[in-house]
Structure 1
Amino acid sequence: VRNRARTSGAMADLVVATARRVVAESGARDVAHAVVGTPGVYDEKQGRVRYAMHLPGWGRAGLFDRMREELGIPLEVHNDANLAALGEYTYGVGAGSRLFAYIMIGTGLGMGIVSEGRLFTGAHGGAGEIGFLPWPGRHKPETLEDAVSGVAVVEAARHFGMTGHLTAKAVFDAAREGHPAAVEAVRLEGERIAHTVAAAAAVLDPDLVVLGGGVGHSVDLLLAPVSETLRALTPLRPKLVPGRLGEDAVLLGAVATALGTARDVVFERRSAP
């Protein structure tokens, strides 16, 4: 369902209404558990999301409590990159990996980490928030998210001479057709992603790194420049592959998470006196 909401409250209402519609259409008699994936880090004590920079008002306290009340069922909230990582581990390319990192590149930049089949989220839920890593900008210090996200691809394309209304997808499509400025922009994006992978490799030592998110649709163009730059940057070079689940990675990670809880809930209900 396309999000046309202009406020955080309207978006929450859209989520609830969509969930109700899906349940009604499915014919399900009872729903045991729900999971929401969102950018940022969910603070359970305060009941709000932090660091969701691209969703104004989404960090307002009480928003998810309201959603729980309106749905009438238990609701978990998880970072979207974490869920995507779990989705790829459960249903995609990550099966059998001892420790793998899912790098989500789109409007923002995030990373989900799965170790021995379990999400690693850190002491406060912020593990994998690699978008906050510092990056030396041309005119002032930036973050890695500023350098690697879809917006950065468009800015690079303009810098190399592309004009008109541009999106990251349009730049990648033009690169596929051999447009020189687009090719240069994609090459630069690949080099910057390589720095992201190098940082993850040095800290985590993953056996597998998955590239996904909106930019993941064009991983075929990125793998060569990422791999070449990675060879020059570091001796720590994990296996690098595109995600298999595409836009469904977050959704399927949420399904895997909810099923794990729901099975226990249903078993307890059926075994109770």
Structure 2
Amino acid sequence: MPVVHRPAGRAPEPARWNRQRLRSNNEWLLLELLRTGGPSSRAQLARDTGLSKPTVSAALGSLETAGLVREAGTLAPCRGRTAVLYRADAGAGYVLGMDVGRARLRVAVADLAGRVVARRDVPNRARTGPGVADALVATARETLADAALAEGGGGIGGPGVGCGSVEGGVVRAVIGSPGVWDERRRVMRHAAHLPGWARPGLFDRIEDGLGMPVQVANDANLAALGEYTYGAGAGSSVFAYLLVGTGVGVGLVRDGELWTGAHGAAGEIGTLQLPRPVGDLTIRQDVLLEEVVAADAVVGEAWRLGLTSVGTAEEVCAAARAGDWAAREAISRQAQQLAFAVAVVAAVADPELLVLGGGLGRSADLLLPLLEEALHRTCELRPRVVASTLGEDAVLLGAVATALEAARLEVFVRRTAPA
């Protein structure tokens, strides 16, 4: 798994200007330079920031005392004295990212540098809300235990023991899940493919099992943020991520920030009801976009075309690559449906780039040429469409990246706060 990098959070701002604020801002500036630029000497940091050498030395001393930086060796220049190099201490805190899907549960622990120190990817065999919650807690606890071993027994506390501490423990935990998070009721609404997932108390159950608070976000939103941060969406001013797997969802990023709408439901296009063709009595009036675009729809189309030996979208794609006519036709029809979904996103958000991800994103070699062809026939507003570079890790990496953005600042504030 790649290292996760997120833009730096803002330096802490006390209510009014004072010397402590100035020192805090200087220390944060130096810490972020060391985190993003790697080991550096006091002289180089002074040149990079414009701060005086005594100011840099004092700030580094404070950061070292707080356990946020440490010496990283020496540099012997051609002339002059040997310089001591400093680096940010990535082990000053950790984050926990979790991805809940109908088929898989994915969990990762990363240090403050974004280095993933432990990861688990297991089948989700639970079929009830409490069952999924308990399975997620068990997987997370096992991953935390793995991380402690990976760090030589230090750094991360045992499951539920000191996990919320910033003293080298897990600082932030983020869960990515299908649906729309209702903060007031603390439930995940509209997660149709996770039965019982909207049951009250499930996320309190997860927090109690982990011994730490958790932040919850929509999976497509986190996938979009992960893809924007260091995937195919990097640098795009307006970017959309179309997640097509068990369900369908869209994550929207504008100028590096998620756009989730007034109620957190922006991008939930899978819930759109499609009109029944006039005079066609064979189609239910309440058919949803998700029913004709998601992975199961490809399988259903293949069955209708006589290819009943396949059970998953992956098997349909494998058959298409092998030359099976029915499989190829099923994927062609799927591309037509996807073109409608892309057209909806293009008309509302006008992204310059749309990334196709989720389970079907792995079959972009088959889908994208057909999708581009369909878009040229049906859509005047055509964003550039590419395949995800993160694949099935997009949601998990987005969760880790989201946790890191807050954790880095939280660790800094707590460790540098006046006694």
TM over 0.5, shorter chain: yes
1:115-264 map, 5 Å? 115-136=254-275, 138-141=282-285, 142-264=287-409
- Following TM superposition, by how much is the alpha carbon of 1:134 offset from its aligned partner in structure 2, in angstroms? 2.2
| Identical-residue share of aligned pairs (%) | 55
Number of positions where the alignment pairs a residue of Structure 1 with one of Structure 2: 273
The answer to whether 1:20 aligns with 2:137 is no
Write the deviation string for residues 234-253 of structure 1: whole angstroms up to 9, x where unpaired: 22111100000011000000
* C-alpha contact 2:127 2:195 (8 A) present in aligned 1: no
Amino acid at match of 2:270: G
Alignment partners' CA distance in 2, 1:190 and 1:31: 43
Q: TM-score normalized by structure 1?
A: 0.97
Alignment partners' CA distance in 1, 2:310 and 2:249: 26
* C-alpha contact 1:32 1:74 (8 A) present in aligned 2: no
Write the deviation string for residues 41-94 of structure 1: whole angstroms up to 9, x where unpaired: 010000001000011111101110121122122210000111111110112111
Match of 1:54 in 2: 193
Alignment partners' CA distance in 1, 2:370 and 2:126: 38
Alignment partners' CA distance in 2, 1:237 and 1:90: 23
- Unpaired runs of 5+ residues, structure 1, are none
Alignment partners' CA distance in 2, 1:48 and 1:72: 19
Alpha-carbon spacing, 1:6–1:166, altered in 2? closer, same or farther (3 Å): closer
Amino acid at match of 1:251: L
Higher CA-based Rg? 2
Higher relative contact order (CA 8 A, sep 6+): 1
* C-alpha contact 1:48 1:64 (8 A) present in aligned 2: yes
Alignment partners' CA distance in 1, 2:142 and 2:246: 28
* C-alpha contact 1:91 1:252 (8 A) present in aligned 2: no
* C-alpha contact 1:161 1:181 (8 A) present in aligned 2: yes
Amino acid at match of 1:139: I
Alignment partners' CA distance in 2, 1:61 and 1:247: 28
* C-alpha contact 1:162 1:181 (8 A) present in aligned 2: yes
* C-alpha contact 2:133 2:202 (8 A) present in aligned 1: yes
Alignment partners' CA distance in 2, 1:61 and 1:267: 34
Q: CA RMSD in A?
A: 1.1
Greater helix content: 1
The answer to whether 1:88 aligns with 2:218 is no
Match of 1:99 in 2: 238
SS in 2 for 1:157: helix
Moved more, 26-35 or 157-166: 157-166
Q: TM-score normalized by structure 2?
A: 0.64
- Following TM superposition, by how much is the alpha carbon of 1:165 offset from its aligned partner in structure 2, in angstroms? 4.3
1:63-78 map, 5 Å? 63-78=202-217
Runs of 4+ in 1 over 6 A off after TM superposition: none
- Following TM superposition, by how much is the alpha carbon of 1:140 offset from its aligned partner in structure 2, in angstroms? 1.6
